Amino acid sequence: MSGHALTVLGDSFVEGRGDPAPHGGYRGWAPRLATQLGLRATKVHNFGTHGATTTDVIETQLTPALSTKAPLVGVVVGVNDLVSDYDKARFARNLRTIFTALEDTGATVLTATYPDIPARLPVPDNFKTLLRTRFTEANHALTDVTAHTGTLLLDLAAAPEWNRDELWTSDGLHPSPTGHRHFAAAAAELIAHATATTIAA
């Protein structure tokens, strides 16, 4: 059996960009979540990589992530699909592949919808409108697949606090240290509520 209690996979949001660690690299929400849950840093396995798409997660992260056999898994990925080589059908298919595979392990799985990142990007208005359409489609796809797989869903798109400047770095793409802390706290609360509900049931 693996000794990992929390495994996370995805893109630079998972990697921790925007939240520099004191001695180099990044901290991010994953170790902050572990702390909130009373887990040691050695119990966390982070597969997040800068620039990763949903296809990258399937091809390079999913199999090793499954091998950790962690009882808690976090996934945040998709923004790189939406701002570059976006295909609606492929995107939805990739989400199904990822979350169905994780569901089959019996782990508690957590993910999040995509907030209004296009509003923060220095791009022409017509491209910003196109991106917002993609983000809306992506959130519908994510909501649908998580409902079918029992995945815990943090709805950042519906949370007004994610429009606050202090939660983001100047690039508009990555959360600030405050943003990572906020995400970790919200994730810990959702996990605690879901666990309590399961026990009560």
- pLDDT tens digits, one per residue of 61-113: 999 999 999 999 999 999 999 999 899 999 999 999 999 999 999 999 999 99
- Non-local CB neighbours of 113 within 8 Å, separated by 6+ positions: 139, 142, 143, 153, 154, 155, 156, 157, 158
What's the CATH number where 14 sits? 3.40.50.1110
Is 32 contained in some domain? yes
Structural domain containing residue 179: 6-200
Is 195 contained in some domain? yes
**Percent of the residues in the chain that have a pLDDT greater than 70, as a whole number:** 96
Q: How confident is the model at residue 2 (pLDDT cuts 50, 70, 90)?
A: low
How many domains would you assign to the chain?
A: 1
Is 110 contained in some domain? yes
First CA to last CA across the chain, in angstroms?
28
Interior CA angle at 97 toward 96 and 98, to 5°?
95
- pLDDT tens digits, one per residue of 136-182: 999 999 999 999 999 999 999 999 999 999 999 999 999 999 999 99
Whether the pLDDT of residue 201 is over 80: the answer is no
Whether the pLDDT of residue 198 is over 70: the answer is no
Is 1 contained in some domain? no
Judged on CB neighbours under 10 Å (0-12, 13-18, 19+), 90 is middle
Interior CA angle at 73 toward 67 and 77, to 5°?
100
Is 57 contained in some domain? yes
